[in-house]
Structure 1
């Protein structure tokens, strides 16, 4: 039996054209070879499994090919190409920096560089995982990398460019490899399946490509695994079973149930998913991706962002037409919040179920909001046409009388005059109340609505509309009635004793009036009289505000009493340092000892402790 070779090695590209998904790099390298503009050092960087080492080997083989084709590809038939393919080329050297990362390894490489190539035009050194070199090894490599012999070319490959010294980066031509697109990867897998005579479903290959996350080597490894599992019958079911992937169909069913507000079906589907061994966090993450894909398919311009097979894409298109964008956005927001809270939740299953139940009620909430908006819009359209104009009230003006079977004449009249600033009363603010009807003699008589007789009710506004003129007049009046300082022509000298006597007398007066705050301000600190200025010390802005409120009352009392109408009160802010109140047992004891030192001697005598 022949030895099995994994697909990643068996179908490894051997020409630039066979490299998958890196045309921007292979095209540049082919042009450089064709124009003979080869750099002295190349740096290939990118994620795993995207073709960095493969491109390095193809470049090395093509450079030394004796019969390069017109499109800059190696012939594969010359001695140099055959030697490389057989692994015994003396001009191409590969070094694994992960296991050869010391200064001695780099010094040995530098010694080899000095020897010219025995066959071929160039001596090429491929250093893989170059970021694993030590700091000292990088420093030893710098000079050779900057000024190598004319026949030496270095090709470095790494997955972590940020770990390489800037001095190394500046000496290389840098090529950034992209993650391989799902579509390109699925097509490549299909070609390999055809060569290997493996029957397959396109949906299954797309799932493998999505699971590989841009790495072709990972995709080929999964491909080999599933081919063995399914006995060369690669189906969508075999792929999701072997890779433990949740079926698309669950998400489609769940969104249909959410759209139809079927809470029971949603919870049962989630229970089935859990019974299959899937984690709730994995499920809610997949649900977010599914809703995102539905939103993407809403607009034809964003349809290219959907990386699925054609069959699945059709299902997305069908479901996206059935569900509104508002519902999907709200559901996506709920799913995202659930995913954030999932890991810290003690009851994780309940967290997911609560999110699903919220999604089921989104349709009703959106419909209620839309109905409310439509009702408001209709009301706004109708109001200008059906507004009731009110004329000025007149005792002689009455509505047209109408005779009813009961012989009672009704009269339409407003129950109260509408204030002048408002000339219109809308229908929504009008109610009908039974009026007092009048007989022929003018005596009031209640009107009956039983039988065939009925009467018109009086129309009056159900909401009392304020009179703006009265409000403005009241505000103006209150401003005019504000207390003012008393004025006079007496300016007698005031003594301190007389001032303090009147000051304390007014303080007692406001205390009797229960104005405790102002009383506290006047008595907490003794005021000082400096000429006609009365200064009182205050501790905060609250006291300052209260003093300003009571200032007029104080001066209106002191000025006539002391016969000096130039007196004025001024608050002065002072900083006060308060002692910190003792809280702990130790602090209380220290405070007591400070007042009575004998207490400490007593404690020591009886060997007492602090509780």
Structure 2
């Protein structure tokens, strides 16, 4: 049996032109070689399978090829590859440094490719620093890694860094098509697109998947064969699910989801793919964003056709519902029920019965309770009078007047409701109390009209349904409202009770007595902290001005919060309304409260001289 070479090795690029999806980097390296502007330390970083090691080998060949050698010359004696994952010690780096000193026998440069360089130990990195910064003229180092953040900054600063990007789905699909053509495989475009999507930006993974699928399906590579072999949900499944959602067919939708689970697919994978499908449909709604859909032309036409059946509002709500389900899936105790609930919610988005929700506000029944009874009673009386053609002309006039009164009450109720539900629409006339002469005349006419009709059972008088407005509300959006607010402030000031003027004489002893009385009052109320603040200082009196001095700002602020109640009490006790309070802060006062141990001992000794004898007898320390 002939030896099989996997496509990743068989079709490994031999020149920069063959490298897929890295045109910016390959052009930079080619120009650097042609202009003799190549750095001696290069760092290739990027995700797996995007061509880092391949570009390093191509670069190593090109810098030694001066045109006289064969194009197939690989310069194997000049290229040294070191796997840092298994050779990551200081001794391995020392052996490498010893080899660097020897010039090449063939060619101009010796190229050292260190793969997975982030696996080197910190000590190995430090041993490599000096050689990397000042290598011999014939040595070039190419470092390759998938995790640049694990490399120490001193290494990064000595390298010219090239960031390799993920290979796009379109580029991967084109290269897979080229390989299929070389191998004589008839491959559908959608099948290659699914393989490229499954590779997630890695060309080596795409080629490995391609080999596996070709082994399964043979020379005819179809979309169905790829989806069966890779166990992926293709767009056709999501389109069927979307059609059921748009038809609001919840039973069939749940059956379809059960079939998907029976096939072996995960619910999390399904709901994440459904959210992506809604995103693709939203992209197809606009010609400007349709280029973001990375599918074949035939598939793009199907997406566009289904997107015309949906609206922007539906797609936005559907994406939000599916995304929320995706986020909650891992923490859910019943994951299948979570997905089924999401599907039922999706099928209800376009259901007309769910959309018929009025935004109109409902007036609470208590607002019109009494007036509704009166109006209903009057209407019944009027209808009964109209049925009997025995009414006199005066009664007809009364009925007409009563009808106007009923209509006026209804209009008044409607205006009050409008003013409550639309505060910004209130005008100056609407906020005034309902006491105009016109409204009083209407009530008198209403009363006379009711009296002229047949006597009915009188109900006891209840509270008025529309009380007069006691508090005026003013909008703050106009200059007129500013003036109105000032008028209200002046009005409120005028309504305050006038303080009784008292000017009795009192002494400082009277002040201290009143001060202690207020302190005791605070203690009875449980405000002991404030009472202790008032007890800490004795007030002094100078020309009806009470002076207090506190040792810190905190005590002053606490007293200012209580100042209104305190002054009101003192004015009432001393019968003088001209008393004022001035509070000062003097931090020097606090020193008399901070006693050292020696000072405390001296104070105690003054109070009891025998204490010193006790200390001397037992030889005690202070």
TM-score for both structures, normalised by structure 2: 0.67
Post-superposition offset of 1:214: 0.6
Post-superposition offset of 1:217: 0.4
Q: Tell me, in whole angstroms, the C-alpha distance in 2 between the residues paired with 1:64 and 1:308.
A: 42
Structure 1 residues 503 and 478: CA distance shift in structure 2, 3 A: farther
Structure 1 residues 550 and 330: CA distance shift in structure 2, 3 A: farther
Q: Does 1:185 align with 2:172?
A: yes
Q: Does 1:308 align with 2:295?
A: yes
Q: Find the partner of 2:86 among 99, 117, 120.
A: 99
Q: Find the partner of 2:500 among 486, 491, 495.
A: 486
Structure 1 residues 291 and 226: CA distance shift in structure 2, 3 A: same
Structure 1 residues 437 and 222: CA distance shift in structure 2, 3 A: same
Structure 1 residues 438 and 156: CA distance shift in structure 2, 3 A: closer
TM-score for both structures, normalised by structure 1: 0.68
Q: Find the partner of 1:422 among 418, 429, 433.
A: 429
Structure 1 residues 155 and 565: CA distance shift in structure 2, 3 A: closer
Q: Find the partner of 1:342 among 329, 349, 370.
A: 329
Instruction: Report the counterpart of residue 607 of structure 2 in structure 1.
Output: none
Instruction: Report the counterpart of residue 424 of structure 2 in structure 1.
Output: none
Q: Tell me, in whole angstroms, the C-alpha distance in 2 between the residues paired with 1:361 and 1:543.
A: 63
1:257-293 Cα distance to aligned partner (Å, 9 max, x none): 3333333233222222222222222222212222222
Instruction: Report the counterpart of residue 159 of structure 1 in structure 2.
Output: 146
Instruction: Report the counterpart of residue 44 of structure 1 in structure 2.
Output: 44
Q: How big is the alpha-carbon RMSD for the aligned residues of Structure 1 and Structure 2?
A: 4.8
Contact 2:191 2:222 in 1 (8 A): yes
1:50-79 Cα distance to aligned partner (Å, 9 max, x none): 1111111112222222428xxxxxxxxx34
Structure 1 residues 436 and 161: CA distance shift in structure 2, 3 A: closer
Instruction: Report the counterpart of residue 573 of structure 2 in structure 1.
Output: 558
Instruction: Report the counterpart of residue 315 of structure 2 in structure 1.
Output: 328
Post-superposition offset of 1:229: 1.1
Instruction: Report the counterpart of residue 65 of structure 1 in structure 2.
Output: 65
DSSP-derived class of the 1:157 partner: strand
Instruction: Report the counterpart of residue 13 of structure 1 in structure 2.
Output: 13
Contact 1:96 1:129 in 2 (8 A): yes
Structure 1 residues 489 and 338: CA distance shift in structure 2, 3 A: same
Contact 2:512 2:539 in 1 (8 A): no
DSSP-derived class of the 1:362 partner: coil
DSSP-derived class of the 1:60 partner: helix
Instruction: Report the counterpart of residue 234 of structure 1 in structure 2.
Output: 221
Instruction: Report the counterpart of residue 477 of structure 2 in structure 1.
Output: none
Contact 1:198 1:232 in 2 (8 A): yes
Deviates more, 1:358-367 or 1:119-128: 358-367
Structure 1 residues 478 and 238: CA distance shift in structure 2, 3 A: same
DSSP-derived class of the 1:49 partner: coil
1:97-142 Cα distance to aligned partner (Å, 9 max, x none): 2222223322322333332222223222222222222233333333
Q: Find the partner of 2:452 among 431, 440, 444.
A: 444
Contact 1:421 1:468 in 2 (8 A): no
Instruction: Report the counterpart of residue 253 of structure 1 in structure 2.
Output: 240
Post-superposition offset of 1:312: 2.4
Q: Tell me, in whole angstroms, the C-alpha distance in 2 between the residues paired with 1:65 and 1:131.
A: 30
Q: Tell me, in whole angstroms, the C-alpha distance in 2 between the residues paired with 1:129 and 1:501.
A: 83
Q: Tell me, in whole angstroms, the C-alpha distance in 1 between the residues paired with 2:158 and 2:473.
A: 86
Structure 1 residues 162 and 498: CA distance shift in structure 2, 3 A: closer
More helix by share: 2
Contact 1:436 1:444 in 2 (8 A): no
Superposed counterparts of 1:540-579, under 5 Å: 548=564, 552=568, 554=569, 557-559=572-574
Contact 1:280 1:349 in 2 (8 A): yes
Q: Tell me, in whole angstroms, the C-alpha distance in 2 between the residues paired with 1:320 and 1:501.
A: 82
Contact 2:283 2:293 in 1 (8 A): yes
Instruction: Report the counterpart of residue 423 of structure 2 in structure 1.
Output: none
Instruction: Report the counterpart of residue 210 of structure 1 in structure 2.
Output: 197
Q: Tell me, in whole angstroms, the C-alpha distance in 2 between the residues paired with 1:105 and 1:361.
A: 66
1:196-237 Cα distance to aligned partner (Å, 9 max, x none): 111221111111101101100000001000111112322111
Q: Tell me, in whole angstroms, the C-alpha distance in 1 between the residues paired with 2:234 and 2:277.
A: 11
Structure 1 residues 465 and 20: CA distance shift in structure 2, 3 A: farther
Contact 2:195 2:209 in 1 (8 A): yes
Instruction: Report the counterpart of residue 380 of structure 1 in structure 2.
Output: none
Structure 1 residues 236 and 110: CA distance shift in structure 2, 3 A: same
DSSP-derived class of the 1:153 partner: strand
Q: Tell me, in whole angstroms, the C-alpha distance in 1 between the residues paired with 2:556 and 2:268.
A: 56
Q: Tell me, in whole angstroms, the C-alpha distance in 1 between the residues paired with 2:142 and 2:299.
A: 42
Q: Tell me, in whole angstroms, the C-alpha distance in 2 between the residues paired with 1:126 and 1:258.
A: 55
Q: Find the partner of 1:123 among 110, 113, 118.
A: 110
Contact 1:437 1:446 in 2 (8 A): no
Post-superposition offset of 1:567: 5.8
Q: Does 1:317 align with 2:304?
A: yes
Deviates more, 1:471-480 or 1:205-214: 471-480
Structure 1 residues 499 and 467: CA distance shift in structure 2, 3 A: closer
Deviates more, 1:198-207 or 1:297-306: 297-306
Deviates more, 1:183-192 or 1:349-358: 349-358
Contact 2:166 2:202 in 1 (8 A): yes
Q: Tell me, in whole angstroms, the C-alpha distance in 2 between the residues paired with 1:83 and 1:326.
A: 62
Q: Tell me, in whole angstroms, the C-alpha distance in 1 between the residues paired with 2:512 and 2:199.
A: 97
Q: Tell me, in whole angstroms, the C-alpha distance in 2 between the residues paired with 1:252 and 1:123.
A: 57
Post-superposition offset of 1:498: 12
Post-superposition offset of 1:499: 5.9
Q: Tell me, in whole angstroms, the C-alpha distance in 2 between the residues paired with 1:192 and 1:565.
A: 103
Q: Does 1:222 align with 2:209?
A: yes
